[in-house]
Chain A
Amino acid sequence: MTIDLNLLELAVYCIAWATVGGLPGFYLATSLNRNPRNGARIGVVVGVLVGLAGLLTGLIDSPVAAVNAVLILWLAALLGGTFLGAARIGRGNYLRRATMRQRTADLAYGLLLPTVLIVAVIVIFPMLWNSVLAFRPIRLRDLPDLRLFSLDDLSLDNFGRVLNARGFGDTLLRTFIFTIFGTTLAIILGLIAALIMRDQFRGRGLARGLLLFPYVAPVISVALIWKMMLNAQYGLLNELIVGMGGRRTDFLFAPATAFTVVILFQAWRYFPFAYLFILARIQAIPDDLYEAAKVDGAAPSQRLWHVTLPQLRAVFGTLFLLRFIWTFNKFDDVFLLTGGAAGTQLISIEVYDQLFSSRNVGTAAAVAVVLALILMVVVMIYFRWFMVEEA
């Protein structure tokens, strides 16, 4: 069986094999006391040759065969390296000839190479490729016969479909509101928590641990507890409300309350993050400042307002940025609570829905691109604003 590849696919194929060969080449050369950069270069050539040979001979005719070929190549490099090293054959004198600077840098590359590769393959490449997918008409059912890398069928249709879809504007706006309120509330709760945990009191150690529970517990279990407590039939909250003469509400499925609840959930689950940051900063404020303020006759509230809070400005800035980014693309919390129903649809859930409900890979990628773009713009505006203000 022969595989016909277009030029782009061939390029990606060769790059993949170059990486596959370069990695062991680097370490093989290092273990033989030879220049690892040359080793990597030779490895790249060998890798590409192996890949092409496999393709031409038809030995590599499926993804599984390719994966096996990679494993065989790496195993061969490992065994060969071990053998040559043990037999002391082919050793060079790199350590003697290279400069200190060169050796240090090579060592650093050697230590970082696997990490960088994993990140490149699993994060950077998919991020870039996602923006290509967003321009292609791909449905889930097309996947088996899909040309992975192709630039022939690019169009703006996916974006047109996504942006013109009814409710997408609402989803965007809702995501912003969700993020801003969720972030702000979490930081405010975190500030209060940090202030009360600052001074020693009986049981503080235990309380400090308890406060982190929402944050470290698995999201699925806390989401389930909330669902149970907010349930319309037997939820504790409803029983208390009915007991006090109120009306029974299905909090997570009534449009009037569901959105508020998911925001409160965000605040509840992530305030410990803010609390830890703020507490660490508060404890670093020198006592002299408070003493001086006290001498000046500042009452506790004034010390809080004029001493503590100004010292926390930078922390608030960092926290807001981090939490904003993470809340904006947060998927699992709201997905597990409501699944995006009852007016709680967010962009990240929209990505999921496009992929699995509409079964459309292209539009899902397009929504993801929109999400990433908005996030980038927001972060850029934030930095600009922050820098200007700080200057």
Chain B
Amino acid sequence: MTNETRTAPPPVARPRRTPLTREVIETRIARVIKWFFIALFVLMTAFPFYWMLNLSVRPIGDVLQNPTRLFPTGDQLAHFWDSYASVLVDFRFLTYIGNSLLLSLVTVFFTLLLAVPGAYAVTRLRFRGKSLMSWGILLVYVFPAIVIAIPLFVIYSKLGIRGSLPSMIVLYLVLTLPVALYMLRSYFQTIPAELEEAALIDGCSRISTIWRIVVPLSVPAIASVALYTFMIAWNEILFAILFLTEFSNSWTLPLGLMQLDTQEVPRTYLMAGSVIITVPVIILFFAFERFLRRGLTAGAVKG
């Protein structure tokens, strides 16, 4: 890597003025480019969400007249609750929130119940078929949901359980379990095994070792798995569309919102609905960002 900067004579003392080497020029250009991109990315990611909030408080008439109004008027802000109340009550969003919450929380519970012991077994215990399991997790992790949707649709229809929320939990578990197993496994690998061995020698059974040693040590990982699982279930829409569309009492929040997207429903309500569904995720995300960053790299919220 020969370079002109090395052969260039050192600049003679001109105080307080850096010589214009390639290094300096490029650093300056890079700084400008960097700030340009920072602005661009922040605008690109944050603005749509701001716009959603904005449109959720402005009546559609105003949106049509002043499409570019960046800030809602004071009057609109004062009545911001109108559209939300309407969505929550008239469009039965309270029901959907209940459904989504129930489905998500139960999914989180069962995911943890199954994934913590499962991930422990895959990391710590020796058994035949262990590498098969590790590969299996990875494979299930990338499988196309749309491919299993048709047979499941047929079976669920035949069994007459399509449209019931409990039957959806099993489907959601398949989406969350691989992610949870994957994340927990990589976390358990970082916990030194000596601690458990000490407990085992002291006569603790494996199960109580998991419960007393491993679980307390893995609280951050378990928390982030719980949050991710919640988000996956909360955001899920493919299975909801396929299995729940004809059963409006079982609609989840995303499905309910999708059904609002028709000509007859004012756009303000649509945006209010979007805010309602997005805000919990964003709040959770910011509250636990530190935990989550790690998990995201482990590939959670597959999409």
Q: How large is the interface on B (under 10, 10 to 19, 20 to 34, 35 or more residues)?
A: 35 or more
The segment out of A53-61, A105-113, A164-172 that lies at the interface is A105-113
Does B258 belong to the interface (CB within 8 Å)?
A: yes
Chain B residues, CB < 8 A from A243: 68
Does A64 belong to the interface (CB within 8 Å)?
A: yes
Chain A residues, CB < 8 A from B51: 225, 228-229, 236
0 or 1 for each of A362-379: is its CB under 8 Å from B? (1 = yes): 001100110110010000
B115 near A115 with CB under 8 A, answer yes
A297, B4: Cα distance in complex, Å: 8
A104 near B127 with CB under 8 A, answer yes
Does B88 belong to the interface (CB within 8 Å)?
A: no
A229, B44: Cα distance in complex, Å: 12
A233, B22: Cα distance in complex, Å: 50
A8 to chain B, nearest CB (A): 15
Does B281 belong to the interface (CB within 8 Å)?
A: yes
B48 near A225 with CB under 8 A, answer yes
B63: nearest chain-A partner, CB-CB: A234
A375, B139: Cα distance in complex, Å: 13
Say whether, besides A193-B41, A207-B42, A331-B238, A239 and B150 are in contact (CB < 8 Å).
Answer: no
B67 near A234 with CB under 8 A, answer yes
Say whether, besides A104-B127, A228-B55, A368-B147, A355 and B121 are in contact (CB < 8 Å).
Answer: no
Say whether, besides A228-B55, A372-B144, A115 and B150 are in contact (CB < 8 Å).
Answer: no
Say whether, besides A216-B301, A221-B278, A224-B274, A123 and B148 are in contact (CB < 8 Å).
Answer: yes
Does B197 belong to the interface (CB within 8 Å)?
A: no
A351, B26: Cα distance in complex, Å: 51
Partner of B154, one of A104, A118, A361: A361
Say whether, besides A348-B146, A372-B147, A111 and B159 are in contact (CB < 8 Å).
Answer: no
The segment out of B12-20, B72-80, B285-293 that lies at the interface is B285-293
B142 near A325 with CB under 8 A, answer yes
B144 near A371 with CB under 8 A, answer yes
B38 near A207 with CB under 8 A, answer yes
A116, B257: Cα distance in complex, Å: 34
0 or 1 for each of A181-193: is its CB under 8 Å from B? (1 = yes): 0000000000011
B274 near A143 with CB under 8 A, answer no
Does A10 belong to the interface (CB within 8 Å)?
A: no
- Nearest first, the 4 closest Cβ-Cβ pairs linking A and B are A329-B144, A105-B127, A297-B3, A221-B274
Binding site for B on A (CB under 8 A): 63-64, 67, 101, 104-105, 107-109, 111-112, 114-116, 118-119, 122-123, 125-127, 129-130, 133, 138, 143, 146, 148, 192-193, 195-196, 199, 201, 207, 209-222, 224-229, 233-236, 238-240, 243, 268-270, 272-273, 276-277, 280, 293, 296-302, 306, 322, 325-326, 328-332, 335-336, 348, 351-352, 355, 361, 364-365, 368-369, 371-372, 375
Binding site for A on B (CB under 8 A): 1-3, 5-6, 22-23, 26-27, 30, 34, 37-38, 41-42, 44-46, 48-49, 51-52, 55, 63-64, 67-68, 114-115, 117-118, 120-122, 125-128, 130, 133, 136, 140, 142-155, 157-161, 170-171, 173-174, 177, 181, 206, 231, 234-235, 237-238, 241-242, 253-254, 257-258, 261, 267, 270-271, 273-275, 277-278, 281-282, 285-286, 289, 293, 296-297, 299, 301-303
Q: 4 other contacts beyond A216-B231, A277-B297, with CB at 8 A cut-off?
A: A118-B173, A297-B2, A336-B237, A361-B150
